[in-house]
Structure formats: structure tokens, C-alpha cells
């Protein structure tokens, strides 16, 4: 049983959630509304119907509803077409910007376009169980006004984005385990840089900066949603057209070097001509996004400046010795930071999380097996010195 989106054989199905149980059938030849879809769907209490998609529309009709620059608009288009391909890893869409920049409205518009529900936006999940409950009941999960992301929730979001299982007791009174294994598109709306201290989270994120809305450009809520609902059937139809193009082009996509979230990039590259993008533009935008995420990681890390100095000279020793050296190279202010590693194992864990980002910045970290004294050794060096 599927929720909103399904893949059956070589075809995709989008549940319209109407009383007749109709769905849109999509393949490499085109799309059509069918009365008896081959895929079987389930609905949850909050599921709402989609309008019948219309042909002849353009995705550019959606552009005025998002207060972002061209780079942000490119990433939003990539995310939207990814939500219609089940089973593939999908980056977490992170909308950030100051209060009043239209982030919550954009979240609601994305939810209504792909997976409309009675309540599209959800509050901050207090624990992993809340996140899983949301994923059980919705295909597209949108969280509004997140000020921070606790470590266990960031880990759970990463597993949902790329696919992973969650287990726990069915009831407190028994020993049976309930397992939930799924991939879900996620949208997080925040003012601050969400997940700045979590490289693994940012590696799976599409970061969209929302611009300040000038007073003369503001629209009242009724006008905004009236215009959105008028355009929604054509916008949905244009997204389905992009999926058709993607299915027909998928086997012909070749990339010289695959980035993180490679399946997502390949899929969007197959669709990009129907998204109004030039060849290679989706990959370029994604790489620029990864570079921005890497910068956020470094900005949030109090050890990065001292680590660069250590890499220039080269280091080989235990994590305890490295922490002592970093303490000597760093001022009191940085060491008082909550993010400063207080113990060798905390430093080692932090470096493991940042290893990929550090490598991209020219800092190589090697974790070696125990030396002849039984101590684990790590090495830090500059990749520029090797070249």
C-alpha cells in the first residue's frame, strides 16, 4: 500500500485522493488520469484531494509565489520534481530567511502542490517519534519555524531523506517490534542556519535563502491563495510533464563525476530540459549549494582555524594529543564555545563528521588503527602539500 506516490513496474502513480480513487499514471510516453490505478494507495485522516492536472501550463507560473533569487528557484524546481519520484533519496529542503520573508507561505504552497493535507505545516517535533509519526501519515512532511535541530532529530531526518529504518516496541506491554522503513521528502523552515553544526545533515540539504519582501510588493492572503489555486492545475500538469521527460531521458544521463545524493542529481538532470534549465545547470546549482553548506559547517566549527594551522605543519598522533595542540593554538573565547570538543572522543567524532567537508577544503584526515602501544592514531595534513 502506497501513500500519495507509487512506482509500479515502469510507471509512476500520483493519487488524486478523490472519492473515486483516481490517480495519474505516468510513464515515458506521457501521463493520464486513470480510474483504476495498478498501484494500491492508502489515505490518512488528513489527506486532501489534488485538483485534476491540466496540460499546457508552465512551471514558471509558480515562480511569483516564491520570494527567492534564481539560484533558489533552480533548487526549488529540482526538489519539486524529486518529490514525484518515490524510492530515491531526496534532499531536505531548508528554507531560511528573516521573519516576514514568505517562508511559511512557501512551505504551505509546496505542500498543497504535492501532498495537500488538512494541516500542511507541522510544529517542531519534540522527539524522533513525532518525526516518524509525521512520515507515517504524509508523503511530504513540512516543519514550520524551527529554531534549532537536536542531534537525534537531525540523524532521523538524514535517515528519512536517504532511506532508513526505525524500530521500537509496538506497545509498552509487549516485546514485539514495529519497524518503519521509508524515504520521505522533507521541508524545514527556519530563521537561523539550521543544522550548521551537523555536516551530515547539511550534506543532504538544499538551502534556500528567502529575500526580504518590500512593502509595496506584499499581497494579502486571500489574493495570494486565490491566484495560487487558479494556477495550481496547470503547475501540477507542468511538473508531470517534467517527470515524463525525466523517465524518457533517464538512461541517457551521464555525469563525469557523481556528487553526494547522486541519484537525485541524475534524476533532476534527466528532467532539467522540462524544468526550464539548460544542460548541466541543475548539477552546477547543486554543487554551489554543497559549497554553501560546507561554508556553514566551517563557520559553525570553532576548531577549523586551528586545524588549518595543524594541517600545514602536519600531525600524527592520538586524538588526545591533537586536542591539546588545538587548545594551545586557540584563544579562550573559542574554547568556551559550546561546540568546542571537551574530550578527545568528542573531537574524533566531530572530525569524522566533517571529514568529507575538510577534504573538499584541502585538509586530509586519516583515522588509523592502533599503534604498537595500542593507541588509535589519526593524521592531519594539507592536501596542497601532497600536490
Q: Give residue limits of the domains in the chain.
A: 48-296, 303-386
> With contact defined as beta carbons under 8 Å apart, do 209 and 68 qualify?
yes
pLDDT at position 373: 64
> With contact defined as beta carbons under 8 Å apart, do 282 and 91 qualify?
no
- Distance of alpha carbon 182 from alpha carbon 46, whole angstroms: 19
Banded model confidence at residue 202, pLDDT cuts 50, 70, 90? confident
DSSP letter for each residue of 55-118: SS--GGGGGGGS-B-HHHHHHHHHHHHHHTSTTS--PEEEEE-STTSSHHHHHHHHHHHHS-BS
Beta strands at 376-382 and 186-190: parallel, antiparallel or unpaired: unpaired
- Distance of alpha carbon 313 from alpha carbon 378, whole angstroms: 14
Task: Report phi then psi at 349, rounded to 5.
Answer: -65, -40
- Distance of alpha carbon 279 from alpha carbon 111, whole angstroms: 28
How far CA 205 is from CA of 79, 246, 293, in Å, comes to 10, 22, 8
pLDDT at position 384: 59
pLDDT at position 196: 61
- DSSP 8-class letter at 6: E
Task: Report phi then psi at 343, rounded to 5.
Answer: -140, 155
SS3 at position 192: coil
pLDDT at 195 over 70: no
The more confident residue out of 333 and 114 is 114
88-112: average pLDDT: 89
pTM of the model: 0.84
Give the bridge partners for 317, in sequence order.
378
Give the bridge partners for 205, in sequence order.
92
Give the distance, in angstroms, between the CA of residue 192 and the centroid of all CA atoms in the same chain.
Answer: 16
**Lowest mean pLDDT segment, chosen from 27-41, 93-107, 142-156, 368-382:** 368-382
- Tell me the pLDDT tens digit for each residue of 13-49: 999 999 999 999 999 999 999 999 999 999 998 899 9
Domain 303-386 has CATH 3.90.1150: yes
| Residue that is written with C-alpha cell 495498478 in the block | 38
238-259: average pLDDT: 93
DSSP letter for each residue of 194-215: TTTT-HHHHTTEEEEEBPPPPG
pLDDT at position 170: 47
- Distance of alpha carbon 96 from alpha carbon 209, whole angstroms: 5
pLDDT at 279 over 80: yes
pLDDT at position 76: 96
**Lowest mean pLDDT segment, chosen from 42-51, 64-73, 225-234, 307-316:** 307-316
- The superfamily in CATH containing domain 48-296 is P-loop containing nucleotide triphosphate hydrolases (3.40.50.300)
pLDDT at 175 over 60: no
SS3 at position 217: helix
Q: Which three cell numbers stand for residue 25?
A: 499514471
The more confident residue out of 230 and 98 is 230
Helix (H) or strand (E) holding 366: strand 363-370
The rounded radius of gyration (Å) of the Cα atoms in the chain is 23
Beta strands at 23-27 and 30-34: parallel, antiparallel or unpaired: antiparallel
Residue percentage of the chain with pLDDT more than 70: 90
Amino acid at each position: 500500500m502506497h501513500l500519495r506516490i507509487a512506482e509500479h513496474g515502469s510507471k509512476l502513480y500520483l493519487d488524486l485522493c478523490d472519492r473515486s480513487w483516481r490517480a495519474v499514471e505516468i510513464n515515458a510516453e506521457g501521463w493520464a488520469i486513470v480510474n483504476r490505478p495498478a498501484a494500491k494507495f492508502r489515505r490518512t485522516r488528513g489527506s486532501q484531494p489534488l485538483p485534476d492536472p491540466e496540460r499546457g501550463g508552465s512551471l514558471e507560473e509558480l515562480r511569483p509565489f516564491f520570494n527567492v533569487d534564481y539560484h533558489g528557484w533552480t533548487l526549488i524546481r529540482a526538489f519539486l520534481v524529486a518529490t514525484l519520484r518515490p524510492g530515491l533519496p531526496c534532499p531536505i529542503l531548508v528554507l531560511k530567511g528573516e521573519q516576514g520573508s514568505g517562508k511559511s507561505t512557501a512551505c504551505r504552497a509546496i505542500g498543497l502542490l504535492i501532498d495537500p493535507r488538512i494541516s500542511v505545516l507541522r510544529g517542531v517535533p519534540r522527539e524522533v517519534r513525532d518525526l516518524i509519526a509525521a512520515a507515517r501519515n504524509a508523503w511530504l512532511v513540512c516543519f514550520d519555524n524551527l529554531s534549532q535541530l537536536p542531534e537525534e532529530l537531525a540523524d532521523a531526518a538524514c535517515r528519512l531523506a536517504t532511506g532508513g529504518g526505525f524500530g521500537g516496541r509496538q506497545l509498552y506491554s509487549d516485546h514485539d517490534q514495529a519497524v518503519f522503513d521509508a524515504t520521505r521528502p522533507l521541508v524545514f523552515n527556519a530563521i537561523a542556519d539550521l543544522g550548521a553544526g551537523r555536516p551530515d545533515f547539511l550534506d543532504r540539504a538544499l538551502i534556500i535563502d528567502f529575500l526580504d519582501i518590500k512593502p509595496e510588493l506584499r499581497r494579502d492572503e486571500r489574493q495570494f491563495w486565490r491566484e495560487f489555486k487558479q494556477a495550481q492545475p496547470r503547475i501540477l500538469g507542468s511538473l508531470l510533464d517534467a517527470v515524463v521527460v525525466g523517465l524518457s531521458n533517464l538512461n541517457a544521463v551521464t555525469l563525469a563525476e557523481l556528487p553526494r545524493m547522486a541519484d537525485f542529481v541524475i534524476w533532476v538532470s534527466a528532467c532539467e530540459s522540462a524544468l526550464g534549465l539548460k544542460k548541466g545547470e541543475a548539477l552546477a546549482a547543486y554543487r554551489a549549494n554543497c559549497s554553501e553548506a560546507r561554508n556553514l559547517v566551517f563557520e559553525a566549527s570553532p576548531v577549523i582555524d586551528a586545524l588549518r594551522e595543524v594541517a600545514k605543519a602536519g600531525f600524527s598522533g592520538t586524538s588526545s594529543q591533537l586536542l591539546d595542540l588545538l587548545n594551545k593554538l586557540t584563544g579562550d573565547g573559542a574554547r568556551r564555545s559550546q561546540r568546542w570538543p571537551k574530550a578527545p572522543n568528542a573531537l574524533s567524532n566531530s572530525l569524522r563528521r566533517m571529514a568529507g567537508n575538510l577534504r573538499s577544503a584541502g585538509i586530509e584526515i586519516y583515522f588509523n588503527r592502533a599503534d604498537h602501544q595500542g593507541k588509535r592514531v589519526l593524521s592531519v595534513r594539507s592536501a596542497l602539500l601532497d600536490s
